[in-house]
């Protein structure tokens, strides 16, 4: 017997709403044993990011190797990677563990506008990590950076997605959370396939800190549980909507609080 497990490679959020902390909460709530490799330590709270301290790339690589050699998760999430050396270390280490499902949340800007990926690291990110991604989950501002174009319409989103797919990833989910209106649409693109759209109602809350981390971790979890990509996304969207609804009126901090990751936690799944 063994637990269903996953690895998250991401930064730490001391306020508990995003990053590694959100990943662990999400995976645990969905019955998945969470392992981690911490890439950076952030100083942040619900008001915004104040500082980022990078963990030594050698230590990042050794964390990944320690987990992969022993626990052997088959699904990996990559979140915040801040600098060139860390991206290089992650890509170099993961090449020794082929045939993994890799979900990448390309975190480049915080919700408060703080830059979370150094500009000089972007090219390496696009050429070393994006091509190994089973799924890339950019929001609209991140998709604009990756495709080097503005997105002001669904048609723009479609063009942007094709540019991102040309970088080599197997699929891209462009999230529509920055859209106005009472309904939001996320769109899944794969090479030589029709677009799949996931519609959800807008939930009126200021507690949206870490929603991107939560969604990508939920997708990772459901894929670790054996779901195919579209079904994993649909289930993850449902989980996030419930977490937003459960936490929408809770006061936690002076700014954008976290979702309620643990509104209905499952027991760890044993195979």
Catalytic machinery residues: 175, 208, 210-213
Cβ burial, residue 177 (10 Å; 0-12/13-18/19+): middle
Alpha carbon separation from 102 to 132, 171, 183, 270 (Å, rounded): 7, 11, 29, 22
Whether 45 and 17 have beta carbons less than 8 Å apart is answered as no
In what helix (H) or strand (E) does residue 235 lie, and over which residues does it extend? helix 229-247
> In 170-210, which ranges are continuous DSSP H helix?
none
Tokens of 152: 């002001």
Helix 211-224 to helix 229-247 angle (10° resolution) is 140
- β-bridge mates for residue 220, sequence order: none
The distance from CA 244 to its chain's CA centroid, rounded to whole angstroms, is 16
């Amino acid at each position: 017997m063994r637990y269903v497990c996953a690895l998250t490679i991401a930064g730490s959020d001391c306020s508990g709403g995003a990053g590694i902390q959100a990943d662990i909460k999400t995976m645990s709530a969905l019955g998945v044993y969470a392992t981690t490799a911490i890439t950076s330590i952030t100083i942040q709270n619900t008001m915004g990011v104040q500082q980022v301290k990078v963990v030594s790339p050698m230590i990042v690589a050794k964390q990944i190797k320690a987990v992969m050699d022993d626990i052997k998760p088959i699904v990996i999430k990559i979140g915040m990677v801040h600098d060139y050396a860390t991206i290089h270390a992650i890509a170099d280490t993961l090449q020794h563990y082929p045939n993994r499902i890799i979900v990448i949340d390309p975190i480049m800007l915080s919700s408060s506008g703080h830059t979370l990926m150094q500009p000089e690291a972007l090219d390496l990110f696009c050429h070393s990590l994006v091509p190994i991604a089973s799924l890339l989950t950019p929001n609209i501002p991140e998709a604009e950076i990756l495709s080097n174009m503005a997105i002001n319409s669904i048609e723009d989103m479609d063009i942007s997605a094709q540019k991102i797919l040309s970088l080599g990833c197997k699929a891209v989910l462009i999230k529509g959370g920055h859209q106005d209106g009472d309904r939001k649409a996320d769109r899944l693109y794969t090479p030589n396939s029709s677009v799949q759209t996931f519609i959800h109602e807008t939930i009126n809350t200021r507690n949206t800190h870490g929603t991107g981390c939560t969604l990508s971790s939920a997708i990772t979890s459901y894929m670790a549980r054996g779901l195919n990509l579209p079904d994993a996304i649909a289930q993850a969207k449902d989980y996030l909507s419930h977490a937003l609804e459960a936490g929408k009126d809770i006061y936690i901090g002076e700014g954008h609080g976290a979702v309620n990751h643990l509104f209905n936690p499952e027991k760890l799944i044993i195979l």
